[in-house]
Amino acid sequence: MLHESVLLQPLLPADEMAEQLAHLVEVMRKRRALPQIMPRNCGPYPFMMGESRFLTFNDAPPVMYTEGMYHGQLIDDPGLVKEYSRAYGRLRAAALDPETSLRLIERAAEDYRNGKLPDRLE
C-alpha cells in the first residue's frame, strides 16, 4: 500500500524518481506485488506508520508481523490477527484497484522522465 503523496512529493531528483518508479512497475508487473495507491484525499489511515505482514501456515494459525522505525512485533493472538486482517481488508477496499494504481505509478515515472513535475500536495 502506497500513499499517493509518494508519487507527488519527490524525495530524489526527477531522473532518479523516474528510475525508481519504473523499477517498482517492473517488479509489480512480474506479480511479485500488487500495488494499491491510497488517494491523497483519504487522510490518515491504519497501517500507514510502518510495515505489516500477514503470515499464513499449513500447520499453524496465521500471525501478523508489524514493524515501525524502532520496533517490531509478532502478533499471534487469533482474535487480534482477525481484527487486523479486517482493518487491512477495509483499507484495501478504500484504495485504488491494482491496475489503476499501476497506471498512476507508470504515469508518474513518465512525468519525472520528461521533466514534468506532478501537482504537489499543498
pLDDT of res. 122? 45
Q: How many domains does the chain have?
A: 2
Residue 99: give the domain boundaries. 1-39+95-116
Per DSSP, the residues of 55-91 read E--SSS--EEEEE-SS-EEEE--HHHHHHHHHHHHHH
For the chain, which residues score pLDDT lower than 70? 118-122
Residue 105, classed as helix, strand or coil, is helix
The per-residue pLDDT for range 48-75, each reduced to its tens digit, is 777 899 999 999 999 999 998 899 999 9
Query: What's the whole-model pTM score?
Result: 0.79
Task: Clarify whether residues 77 and 55 are in a common domain.
Answer: yes
